Amino acid sequence: MSGLEVSHVSYSYAAGGRKALDDVSFSVAPGRFCALLGLNGAGKSTLYALLTRLIVAPEGHIGIAGYDVARAPLKALARIGVVFQQPTLDLDMTVRRNLAYFAGLHGLSGRSAEAAIDAALDRLAMRERSGEKVRSLNGGHRRRMEIARALIPDPEVILLDEPTVGLDAAARRAITEHVHQLAETGPAVLWATHLVDEIGPDDQVVVLHKGRVLADGSAAELSGGSTLAERFMEMTGGKSEEAA
Ligand SMILES: Nc1ncnc2c1ncn2[C@@H]1O[C@H](COP(=O)(O)OP(=O)(O)OP(=O)(O)O)[C@@H](O)[C@H]1O
């Protein structure tokens, strides 16, 4: 299987210190939407930093589209689309200029860049906004634009780190639906969240708590006879690292 593979990954920020990630293993198949469900401090952002090689895992294996992130980092990273928690847009450029700049970073220019930009904007229903300055967009449209940007290199794995933070309910729903539809077109999607209402019954769910994987299965399987929210509360005690 390609897609995303994480195997026995551990990480501590300080030598000998507490593990932010402790023997984490799971995989996401192509075409799957996987929610990485965890409270504050669970280790979600640390995992994303390792997947994107912002930091390097001393232990374990990370595979992206069949490439080992440690042994073939350029090939692996070229197949990832990332939406980080903090927006990174130039507010005074138009949507299209922002995307064109990013396309250039990926070696695309001219007609191939335009085609990739149009296709990405269409997938997020954002084409009609392409001439607007980012500053004039609302939070939901800015986020959609960042997701469109992540699609430009036609990634096989898409990583989103709590992409709905700060958005209202309608924008949250729209983005969640768009990304579920995206997964159906082929890429493996990893969506970090602490909000169970962003997860559908057929989605894969990996529950991360205090650096460990507590559960991995479909939302329906994990819910059992109760709701996913109840099961998540039972597993974690509803307490984040900060609150504990
Ligand atoms: N740069 C850092 N230096 C030291 N410890 C860190 C650093 N970043 C995170 N941690 C610790 O690592 C653990 C995991 O944090 P991480 O940010 O990965 O969790 P998270 O699930 O992304 O939480 P949040 O939703 O709050 O971002 C926490 O105990 C956190 O305090």
Ligand 1 pocket test, pick from 10, 12, 13 with the greatest ligand atom count within 8 Å of Cβ, gives 13
43 CB under 6 A from ligand 1? yes
Q: Do 164 and 130 reside in the same domain of the chain?
A: no
101 CB under 6 A from ligand 1? no
3 CB under 6 A from ligand 1? no
Instruction: Decide if 188 contacts 36 (C-beta within 8 A).
Output: no
Tokens coding 81: 């689309």
Angle at 144 between CA 140 and CA 148, to 5 degrees: 170
Residue 239: its pLDDT value, please?
61
CA 80, 20, 226, 217 torsion-angle sign: positive
Domain final residue, candidates 119, 154, 189: 154
Residue 182 Cα to ligand 1 midpoint, Å, equals 28
Which amino acid residue places its CA nearest to atom 30 of ligand 1? 41
Q: Do 137 and 170 reside in the same domain of the chain?
A: no
DSSP 14-43: STTS-EEEEEEEEEE-TT-EEEEE--TTSS
132 CB under 6 A from ligand 1? no
Q: Do 72 and 114 reside in the same domain of the chain?
A: no
Instruction: Decide if 117 contacts 103 (C-beta within 8 A).
Output: yes
Q: Do 166 and 215 reside in the same domain of the chain?
A: yes
Residue 224: its pLDDT value, please?
84
Residue 58: its pLDDT value, please?
83
Which amino acid residue places its CA nearest to atom 12 of ligand 1? 20
CATH at 75: 3.40.50.300
Q: What is the ipTM of this complex?
A: 0.95
Domain final residue, candidates 123, 154, 185: 154
209 CB under 6 A from ligand 1? no
Q: Do 73 and 167 reside in the same domain of the chain?
A: yes
Q: Do 99 and 141 reside in the same domain of the chain?
A: yes
Q: Do 23 and 132 reside in the same domain of the chain?
A: no
Q: Do 75 and 164 reside in the same domain of the chain?
A: yes
Q: Do 143 and 233 reside in the same domain of the chain?
A: no
| Residue span of the structural domain in which 227 resides | 1-79+160-244
Residue 62 Cα to ligand 1 midpoint, Å, equals 19
Task: Give every residue of the chain whose pLDDT is below 70, as ranges.
Answer: 1, 238-244
Residue 238: its pLDDT value, please?
67
Q: Do 52 and 94 reside in the same domain of the chain?
A: no
- Residue identified by tokens 């689309």 is 81
Residue 35: its pLDDT value, please?
97
pTM surpassing 0.90? yes
pLDDT in tens, 108-156: 989 999 999 999 999 888 999 999 999 999 999 999 999 999 999 899 9
Q: Do 118 and 62 reside in the same domain of the chain?
A: no
- Residue identified by tokens 């898409």 is 158
Domain final residue, candidates 154, 178, 200: 154
Q: How many domains does the chain have?
A: 2
Q: Do 107 and 73 reside in the same domain of the chain?
A: no
